[in-house]
Amino acid sequence: MIFATRKGGSVKAVFTGQVRSVFAIPGGGYAITIKHGQYFTNYVGLSSFTVKTGQSVTTGQVIGTARTNEEESAGVVEVQIYKGDKLQNANVWIKQR
């Protein structure tokens, strides 16, 4: 699911967990995977990141910066949430403002 934020907006962990991977996507920014017990969250297409593999994170901790959309008018981030290998509804986990 893709979420909009302000241009240059911070991307925050949706729940306490441990960073499993941080990697570059050629032409697509960075991705971060965080393990939360039986759940995993993927944050895809970030323009920068502030965490490293193995690091513990807390709910609401800034983990990176959202990339800018094609019109360069807002920030966007794709968030994927899995329980095991089953994709979950990210809207349930994300605080709306």
The per-residue pLDDT for range 15-54, each reduced to its tens digit, is 999 999 999 999 889 999 999 999 999 999 999 999 999 9
- Confidence at residue 96, expressed as pLDDT on a 0 to 100 scale: 59
Quick one: average pLDDT of 6-14? 91
Cβ(2)–Cβ(78) below 8 Å: yes
User: Taken in order 58, 63, 69, 72, is the CA torsion positive or negative?
Assistant: positive
To which H or E segment does residue 40 belong?
strand 39-46
Kindly report, residue by residue over 61-94, the tens digit of the pLDDT.
999 999 987 777 788 899 999 999 999 988 777 7
DSSP 15-33: SSEEEEEEEEETTTEEEEE
What is the pTM (predicted TM-score) of this model?
Answer: 0.89
Pairing label, strands 86-87, 29-36: unpaired
- Confidence at residue 71, expressed as pLDDT on a 0 to 100 scale: 77
Helices and strands (DSSP H and E) totals, the chain? 0, 11
